[in-house]
Amino acid sequence: APLTDTVPPQVVPGADPLARQLCFAWGPAEVLVCETLFGRAGGFRSRCLSRSPCASRFRGKGRAGAAARSLTGSVAATADGGPSSSRVFVVRRDQDIYIQTLRKLFNESHGIFMGLQRSEEELAGKSRKAQLVQVSKNYRSVIRACMEDMHQAAVSTRDPALQGQYSTQVSILSAMELIWNLCEILFVEAATAGPLLLRLLDWVRLHVCDVDSMVREVLSSESPSKHKLFWNVVDVFVLQGRMDEARHLLSKEASANPTSVNMYKILDDLMKKMPVPSLGNTQTLTELELKWQHWHEECQRYLQDGTFASNPHMESICKILLGDEDAILEKKELMTTWYHFLVTRLLYSHPTVKPMELRFYAQSSMDLFLGGESSPEPLDMILMAAFEFEMHQVIKECSIVLSNWWFVAHLTDLLDHCKLLQSHNLYFGSNMREFLLLEYASGLFSHHSLWQLGVDYFDHCPEYGRVYLELHIERIPLSTEQKALKVLRICEQRQMHEQVRSICKIMAMKALRNNRLGSALSWSIRAKDAAFATLISDRFLKDYCERGCFSDLDLIDNLGPSMLLSDRLTFLGKYREFHRLYGEKRFPEAARLLLTLMTAHIAPSSFWMTLLTDALPLLEQKEVIFSAEQTYELMRCLEDLTAGNPDKQKFQDDDVETTKVEMLRLALARNLARVIIKEGTVEGS
Partner 1 sequence: QDNRISIWSAGDFGNAGLNGEYHGEPHFLCDIQHNGDVMDMQFLDQERIVVASSTGTVTIFRHHQNNQTLSDDHRWEKAHYHVDQDTSCGGAACTGVVCNNPEIVTVGEDGRINLFRADQKDAVRTIDNADSSTLHAVTFLRTTEILTVNSIGQLKIWDLRQQRNEPSQIFSLAGDRVPLHCVDRHPNQQHIVATGGQDGMLSIWDIRQGTMPVSLLNAHEAEMWEVHFHPSDPDHLFTCSEDGSLWHWDTSTNVSDKPSFLHQGGRSTAYLSHSTINQSVVSAWLSSDPTKDRMEITNLIPNQTLSVNSLDVLGPCLVYGTDAEAIYVNRQLFA
Q: Using H for helix, E for strand and C for coil, what is the string for 27-50?
A: CCCEEEEEECCCCCCCCCCHHHHH
Q: Which of 216, 294, 354, 448 binds partner 1 (CB under 8 A)?
A: 448
d(CA 233, CA 246): 8
Stretch that binds partner 1, among 102-110, 242-250, 367-375, 386-394 (CB under 8 A): 102-110
d(CA 243, CA 251): 12
Decide: is 522 part of the binding site for partner 1 (CB under 8 A): yes
Q: 32-37, long-range: CB within 8 Å, 24+ apart, which pairs?
A: 32/76, 32/88, 32/89, 32/90, 32/91, 33/73, 33/88, 33/89, 33/91, 34/86, 34/87, 34/88, 34/89, 35/86, 35/87, 35/88, 36/86, 37/82, 37/86
CB of 555 to partner 1, least distance (A): 5
Q: Using H for helix, E for strand and C for coil, what is the string for 216-277?
A: HHHHHCCCHHHCCCHHHHHHHHHHCCCHHHHHHHHHHHHHHCHHHHHHHHHHHHHHHHCCCC
CB of 480 to partner 1, least distance (A): 5
CB of 139 to partner 1, least distance (A): 16
d(CA 199, CA 184): 10
Stretch that binds partner 1, among 103-111, 185-193, 257-265, 642-650 (CB under 8 A): 103-111
CB of 55 to partner 1, least distance (A): 29
d(CA 630, CA 676): 12
Draw the binding track, 468-487, toward partner 1 (x: CB under 8 A; -: no contact). Answer: -----------xxxxx-xx-
Decide: is 107 part of the binding site for partner 1 (CB under 8 A): yes
Q: Which of 20, 87, 92, 110 binds partner 1 (CB under 8 A)?
A: 110
Residues 6+ apart with CB under 8 A from 207: 174, 177, 178, 181
Burial class of residue 596 in the structure, from the number of CB atoms within 10 Å of its CB (0-12 exposed, 13-18 middle, 19+ buried):
middle
CB of 550 to partner 1, least distance (A): 11
Distances (CA, A) of 649 to 374, 635, 639, 653, 660: 98, 21, 16, 6, 16
Decide: is 516 part of the binding site for partner 1 (CB under 8 A): yes
Which is nearer to partner 1, 489 or 648 (by Cβ)? 489
Which is nearer to partner 1, 363 or 562 (by Cβ)? 562
Stretch that binds partner 1, among 99-107, 142-150, 352-360, 497-505 (CB under 8 A): 99-107
**Strand order across the 22-26 sheet:** 22-26, 30-35, 86-92, 72-79
Residue 365: φ, ψ to 5°: -65, -45
Binders of partner 1 in range 554-593 (CB under 8 A): 554-555, 558-562
Which is nearer to partner 1, 227 or 501 (by Cβ)? 501
Find the DSSP H helices in 514-607: 517-527, 530-547, 553-556, 567-583, 587-599
Amino acid 136 reads S
Q: Which of 59, 104, 205, 392 binds partner 1 (CB under 8 A)?
A: 104
Decide: is 281 part of the binding site for partner 1 (CB under 8 A): no
Angle separating helix axes 338-349 and 195-207, nearest 10 degrees:
150
Stretch that binds partner 1, among 30-38, 186-194, 510-518, 599-607 (CB under 8 A): 510-518
Decide: is 274 part of the binding site for partner 1 (CB under 8 A): no
Binders of partner 1 in range 28-67 (CB under 8 A): none
Stretch that binds partner 1, among 12-20, 97-105, 140-148, 363-371 (CB under 8 A): 97-105
Stretch that binds partner 1, among 111-119, 123-131, 587-595, 598-606 (CB under 8 A): 111-119
Amino acid 206 reads L
Distances (CA, A) of 243 to 177, 234, 239: 26, 9, 9
Decide: is 114 part of the binding site for partner 1 (CB under 8 A): yes
Residues 6+ apart with CB under 8 A from 239: 320, 328, 331, 334, 335, 340, 344
Q: Which of 453, 581, 598, 624 binds partner 1 (CB under 8 A)?
A: 453
Which is nearer to partner 1, 281 or 495 (by Cβ)? 495
Stretch that binds partner 1, among 230-238, 290-298, 423-431, 553-561 (CB under 8 A): 553-561
d(CA 88, CA 364): 53
Q: Which of 62, 111, 371, 378 binds partner 1 (CB under 8 A)?
A: 111
Q: Judged by CB under 8 A, how many residues of this single chain contact partner 1? A: 39
Which is nearer to partner 1, 402 or 555 (by Cβ)? 555
Q: Which of 552, 614, 633, 657 binds partner 1 (CB under 8 A)?
A: 552
Does residue 496 sit in helix, strand or coil?
Answer: coil
Which is nearer to partner 1, 565 or 641 (by Cβ)? 565
CB of 529 to partner 1, least distance (A): 15
Binders of partner 1 in range 524-543 (CB under 8 A): 525
Decide: is 103 part of the binding site for partner 1 (CB under 8 A): yes
CB of 553 to partner 1, least distance (A): 9
Draw the binding track, 301-330, toward partner 1 (x: CB under 8 A; -: no contact). Answer: ------------------------------
CB of 556 to partner 1, least distance (A): 9
Decide: is 489 part of the binding site for partner 1 (CB under 8 A): yes
Decide: is 74 part of the binding site for partner 1 (CB under 8 A): no
Q: 274-278, long-range: CB within 8 Å, 24+ apart, which pairs?
A: 274/243, 274/321, 275/351, 276/197, 276/198, 276/241, 276/351, 277/193, 277/194, 277/195, 277/196, 277/197, 277/198, 277/351, 277/352, 278/194
Decide: is 424 part of the binding site for partner 1 (CB under 8 A): no
Which residues here bind partner 1, judged by CB under 8 A? 100, 103-104, 107, 110-111, 114-115, 448, 452-453, 456, 479-483, 485-486, 489, 493, 514-519, 521-522, 525, 551-552, 554-555, 558-562
